[in-house]
Chains A and B, each alone.
Chain A
């Protein structure tokens, strides 16, 4: 049997933008204020009255070729055999190089523990045979989690029968969070295009 390869599929035809995944993640993983391991990106397109909102649940892509794991100087970030990228919280020295190298801005410093954290597909739940908290909480079953190498799994069948997209394919990281029918604009780097002056970034400098 092929090696396990956990992946996430988010069906945007079903997503209603309710933030249940964000809340579930915060509760399950005790994610402090100011930081998020999972969040919902929301944009609004068009001019009133012809407007529409588009959502995109965002989380760590647990990339197959993870730049963070390659650049971690202490091997605190590493890829498990089942494909999940985890951070060893006892080994992490907090050099933050992984945060700087990640193309998806999904890593953060936990302000209480002073180490780097991110979404790791709720690996503690997955090991007990459960699905991640966000998937469990999704009221419209828009999120599907499973072993994509197991051809009988729901995710493998969905991936085989649907056109899917991933974020920032040009980064060559082989992301393992797939989206069905996500809007092109919400997947692209909208904030950069709207405001390349990056006014807010200087305020966020923590010196």
Chain B
């Protein structure tokens, strides 16, 4: 190695600024955005058998998005000053977009949920269509938070917001599948066998949809890593960090293998009609996406800068 004769005698490295609160926040907004999109799709298609899923997800989205910013405020060094975000905004900072989006989106989500529950179809459809861009930006901006932190090679890529959105869809659908399956198993006894069969088929279809989005996610991750490995030296180190370095077990083992490949096989393979296998796949997917947030947030910062 070219620098084998070089030793660092003294240098200062400051503490990692962003800890797992931020990763958890990304995870929860992702779940929220994913379940909101599913809810709107169910509402727009408007078929009777989609209604239960539309309702579950409509209530899930705002609840998750109320949990998410608690992580953000807990992460602040001066939590009581969080209102500065609204008073002293700075339009070149992605956090400023976020603070307004994070206010608007749950409010809209709650109104939408009320419309869905009171069965006002037309209002729910309009709000849903208006809400999708909001849901996409509320999660997409978190990708920009990382992408615009120029110093960190693992983050500074234009693919970051898309990767975040796609993995959010994956984890969101995963959560919906888990909840829908629980409902089918325990709270759906009164329905006719015919309806129960339809409900189960719907869950299976949802899981297949999830598997296809996992493929898209894998494609994005592979293209991101290929570019990292062939770009400048910092990017190469970042790529090696997650492929062979300390974060490799978490990235290759948990995120890629357990969180993407195993669920894909479970959902599309011979176990594709088994509800149990699909629920296991959905749990794995969520573990994988959580690991992805960890690798991105902590791994991105763990390459020394000086």
Contact = CB atoms under 8 A, between A and B. Distances in A.
Contacts of B96: 73
Contact of B306 (A41, A93, A205): A41
Contacts, number: 206
A76 B88 contact: yes
B230 interface: no
B151 interface: yes
A204 interface: yes
A126 interface: no
Contact of B237 (A45, A92, A192): A192
Interface of B, helix, strand, loop or mixed by DSSP: loop
Contact of B17 (A42, A67, A73, A100): A100
A14 B108 CA distance: 63
Contacts of A101: 148-151
B99 A73 contact: yes
Range class of the B interface residue count: 35 or more
A190 interface: yes
A207 to B, nearest CB: 6
Interface in B221-266: 232-234, 237, 240-241, 245-246
A192 B14 contact: no
A105 B77 contact: no
A88 to B, nearest CB: 9
Contact of B16 (A97, A170, A204): A204
Interface string B274-306: 000000000000000000000000100111111
Nearest to A197: B245
Interface of B: 1-3, 5-20, 75-78, 81-82, 84-85, 87-90, 92-96, 98-99, 145, 148-152, 232-234, 237, 240-241, 245-246, 298, 301-306
